[in-house]
Amino acid sequence: MGLGYGLQRLVLRRGYDQRYKGLRVLNDWDRYFTGYVLPPDRRRKLNFIWVDILVDGSGGNAVLYSGVLENYSLNREQVIDQVFISSAIRRHNLDLSGVLPVGESYASRPPNYDMPGEYLVIPFSQVRNLNITYSYVRPGTPPPPGPPAPATAPPATA
């Protein structure tokens, strides 16, 4: 183990980064996207992180995507560039004014849509807001729904 890695682990384990800003190892997003903002006992029980991401849509509407946070990327300025989620669900278009057009009801809106594919990549420049939910391990709790299994070709017939 390298000296730098060992010092980083020591700073994080002892919580020095929380007391002394100059020793911060993680950026703000790392702290939230890894659950590091949680107390250590809750962090150890963390199973997965669920996010709800409100994205600018067309026509003044917004689209809400929900899924398991898998990863994110930073640009050169250390600002989030993209967010990667799995088990993604797209909620129907949302009119943020709170007023529905005449003759339209919430019941007439399209239902939620399970997004195909293993990951959905969302450009962070289009994100209006982000909700983070930490999911904890409970005895007998199955793991979160993962990406679908790869399709297999049907057996060849002779």
Q: Which residues neighbour 90 within 8 Å (Cβ) at sequence distance 6 or greater?
A: 63, 64, 65, 112, 113, 115
pLDDT for the residue 83: 95
**Nearest-10 Cα torsion for 113, 119, 120, 124:** 150
Map out the domains of the chain with their CATH numbers.
1-27 (no CATH), 38-136 (2.30.30.100)
Predicted local distance difference test score (pLDDT) of residue 158: 46
Distance, CA of 118 to CA of 86 (rounded, Å):
6
84 in Cβ contact with 118 (< 8 Å): no
C-alpha span between 146 and 149 (Å, rounded): 9
pTM over 0.75? The answer is no
Cα 35 to Cα 43, 71, 78, 97, 131: the distances in Å are 6, 13, 19, 33, 13
Task: Say what the alpha-carbon torsion angle 55, 57, 61, 62 is, to the nearest 10 degrees.
Answer: -10
CB 56 within 8 A of CB 128: yes
Q: Sort 53 into a burial class: Cβ within 10 Å, 0-12 / 13-18 / 19+.
A: buried
Compute the distance between CA of residue 70 and CA of residue 112 in angstroms, rounded to an integer. 21
For residue 61, the model assigns a pLDDT of 75
pLDDT tens digits for the chain (158 residues)?
A: 577 777 777 776 777 666 766 666 667 787 788 888 888 888 888 889 999 999 987 777 788 999 999 999 988 887 889 999 999 999 865 655 556 566 666 566 666 788 888 999 999 999 999 999 999 877 666 555 554 444 444 444 44
- Predicted pLDDT of residue 25: 60
